[in-house]
Structure 1
Amino acid sequence: MIAVTAPNGNVGSETVRALLRAGVRPRVLTRHPEFLPQDVRERADVVAVDLRDHAAVVASLRGIQSLSWITPSPALDESDPLAYYDELAESLQGAVTSNAIGRVVFQSSVGAERRNGVGEIDGLAATEQRLDALGIDVVHLRCGLLMSNLLLAPDGLNGGTIRVLLPLDLPMPWVAPRDVAEVTAARLLSPHWSGREVQALHGPEHLTWSEVAEVLSSTLSRPIQVERVRDEATRGDLRASGLTEQRVAAIIGMSTGIRDDFIPEQRRDVTTTTPTTLRAWATQLHRSSVSAR
């Protein structure tokens, strides 16, 4: 039996579909079963559960042998995001221990190797360490920047200007959610690995923010520019929107923690390179937008 968390998310939804294509009937854990497509609900065992409810998570994962654990991003009004990650990690640890789950594929992030000083990614790093302590078969997928994160600033895309904290000429790995899902499903189904592994997912190429703007402009057929903003300006804007100091620090840290003299632990090679280009992802986004009009 295989279980997947966050099946409504960009990676989780694609992971579920990849497993369905492989002939697996997965168990999916979600707070909102009503948001799952009807064809998925008919082919998966859907469990309504809040991942913060430790006892409910343990009960929901009884009989599971392999688990894809994706920690849903905390809501913007979450006052202490690191405490949120710790709470969900406790649910994960308890469920793995209580149910003798022997294999976990954990969606982590580039930057988790630093262990601290990387904002919200510190929560993923702490979850990695909890899993490592259990002595199970676990692979941590350290994903580069998810292309779908560009959609977190819809005003920026619609308005033509995306504001970032990173240098515009700093190459970063960009990966498509579907590629992360395909690797997740392959790892869940493969018998050919054991122990603790870390696998980075860097997409097909590193891109600077300037190159991202060029790709988006040509693909979406409208000018998109990227503007670098100062840390303090961003911090002030986030405070003005009512976010707590912990939330502000967690958001800022995800950029500042991988900005200065940071080199990912896993280099680009055949195991870390995935196929979908930003242009291909943006083209599909554009087609979906046009067809929805």
Structure 2
Amino acid sequence: MIVITTPTGQIGGRLLELLLDEDLPRGEELRVVLRDPGKLPDAVRARVDVVTGSHGDAEVVDRAFDGADAVFWLVPPNPRAPSLEAMYSGFTRAAAKAFTTHGVGHVVGVSALGRGTPVAGRAGHVTASLAMDDLIASTGVAYRALANPTFFDNLLWQAASIRDNGVFTGTDIADRKAPTAATRDIAAAAAGLLLDRSWTGTGEVPVLGPEDLSPNDLAGVMSEVLGRPIRYERQTLDAFGAALAGRGLGDALVQGYRDMMRAKNDGLDVGVRRTPQTASPTTFRQWCEQVLKPAVQA
């Protein structure tokens, strides 16, 4: 049995679709954990076992992991978390205990690039995510952390600005190239690991996209796909933090994002070499044509 957390999120939802579309091995079952089963389409709900509740709750994960062979683990956003440690490792502790109690063999988690870089210890959310990986690995379960860069899909929250003003913003240096990836490719990497389960030990699986791109590169591709000029405006970290606070994020999370973005400009994401194994297939142009353009036009 495979257990999927966040089955209606960007990555978890796509993962569930991929697994439901697979010719699953005989006897393989799917179980999902979510607070509101009503968010699942009826056709999906009829094909999976549903455990209702938060996967940060000990009683919920105790039920969810009973009989499980593999788990997809993703910590959901919590805008009012008191600290990054509470948001990541604190949320994961009950699950880590349940992995051992129920003899879960394999766990695939969503994490970040940066381990081993000089800035990994002061990278906000990334630092906390890597500590969560260490917590899961300490249980003895076979664990693979999907080590991800910035997502293409993060641009979707700026779809209105791209449409109305021809502008997207960020804190990255305008001509600094770095890996970026589509969340659907991260889901595909997770699906492959969850179905295989021949792997052992702990490690990272980088998902780097097919090429490094700068914000200026992104603007050029968006301009071509959308048929109008799109430009990048670099924000200060102070302005970035103020915008996050205005969206309701607490102080700990805002500072964590500031620290993460500062670390990215200091080389957090560029320590892993792109190979056929670490590259992922979706180009930014494909993603713009298939995802961003419909969102901007909606």
Q: What is the TM-score when the length of structure 2 is the normalising length?
A: 0.89
Question: 198, 218, 226: which is aligned to 1:192?
Answer: 198
CA separation of 1:283/1:136 partners in 2, compared to 1, >3 Å: closer, same or farther?
same
Structure 1 window deviating more from structure 2 (15-24 vs 274-283): it is: 15-24
Check whether the contact 1:113–1:125 (CA below 8 A) recurs between aligned residues. Answer: no
What is aligned with 1:247?
Answer: 253
Aligned length: 291
DSSP-derived class of the 1:223 partner: coil
What is the CA–CA distance in structure 1 between the aligned matches of 2:244 and 2:17, rounded to whole Å?
36
Matches of residues 123-272 of structure 1 in structure 2 within 5 Å?
Answer: 123-158=128-163, 159-239=165-245, 243-262=249-268, 264-272=270-278
What is the CA–CA distance in structure 1 between the aligned matches of 2:179 and 2:270, rounded to whole Å?
10
**Consecutive unaligned residues in structure 1, runs of 5 or more:** none
What is aligned with 1:48?
Answer: 52
Partner amino acid, structure 2, of 1:18: L
CA separation of 1:155/1:113 partners in 2, compared to 1, >3 Å: closer, same or farther?
farther
DSSP-derived class of the 1:62 partner: coil
Deviation at 1:228, TM superposition (A): 0.9
Question: 68, 71, 76: which is aligned to 1:64?
Answer: 68
Query: What per-residue deviation string (whole Å, max 9, x for no partner) do you get for residues 234-255 of structure 1?
Result: 3344456664331220121221
DSSP-derived class of the 2:189 partner: helix
CA separation of 1:112/1:41 partners in 2, compared to 1, >3 Å: closer, same or farther?
farther
Deviation at 1:82, TM superposition (A): 3.3
Check whether the contact 1:105–1:139 (CA below 8 A) recurs between aligned residues. Answer: yes
Structure 1 window deviating more from structure 2 (146-155 vs 180-189): it is: 146-155
Deviation at 1:147, TM superposition (A): 1.2
Deviation at 1:38, TM superposition (A): 2.4
Check whether the contact 2:107–2:142 (CA below 8 A) recurs between aligned residues. Answer: yes
What is aligned with 2:10?
Answer: 10
What is aligned with 2:91?
Answer: 88
Partner amino acid, structure 1, of 2:21: R
Deviation at 1:289, TM superposition (A): 4.1
What is the CA–CA distance in structure 2 between the aligned matches of 1:70 and 1:253, rounded to whole Å?
21
Partner amino acid, structure 1, of 2:107: V
DSSP-derived class of the 1:129 partner: helix
Check whether the contact 1:3–1:29 (CA below 8 A) recurs between aligned residues. Answer: yes
Structure 1 window deviating more from structure 2 (97-106 vs 43-52): it is: 43-52
Deviation at 1:35, TM superposition (A): 1.3
Query: What per-residue deviation string (whole Å, max 9, x for no partner) do you get for residues 110-135 of structure 1?
Result: 23555431122222111110012112
CA separation of 1:32/1:241 partners in 2, compared to 1, >3 Å: closer, same or farther?
closer
DSSP-derived class of the 1:116 partner: helix
- Give the RMSD, CA atoms, in angstroms: 2.1
Matches of residues 103-142 of structure 1 in structure 2 within 5 Å?
Answer: 103-114=106-117, 115-142=120-147
CA separation of 1:160/1:8 partners in 2, compared to 1, >3 Å: closer, same or farther?
same
What is the CA–CA distance in structure 1 between the aligned matches of 2:62 and 2:230, rounded to whole Å?
46
Deviation at 1:287, TM superposition (A): 5.8
Partner amino acid, structure 2, of 1:183: A
What is the CA–CA distance in structure 1 between the aligned matches of 2:289 and 2:81, rounded to whole Å?
34
**4+ residue runs of structure 1 moved beyond 6 angstroms?**
none
Check whether the contact 1:199–1:266 (CA below 8 A) recurs between aligned residues. Answer: no
What is the CA–CA distance in structure 2 between the aligned matches of 1:222 and 1:79, rounded to whole Å?
42
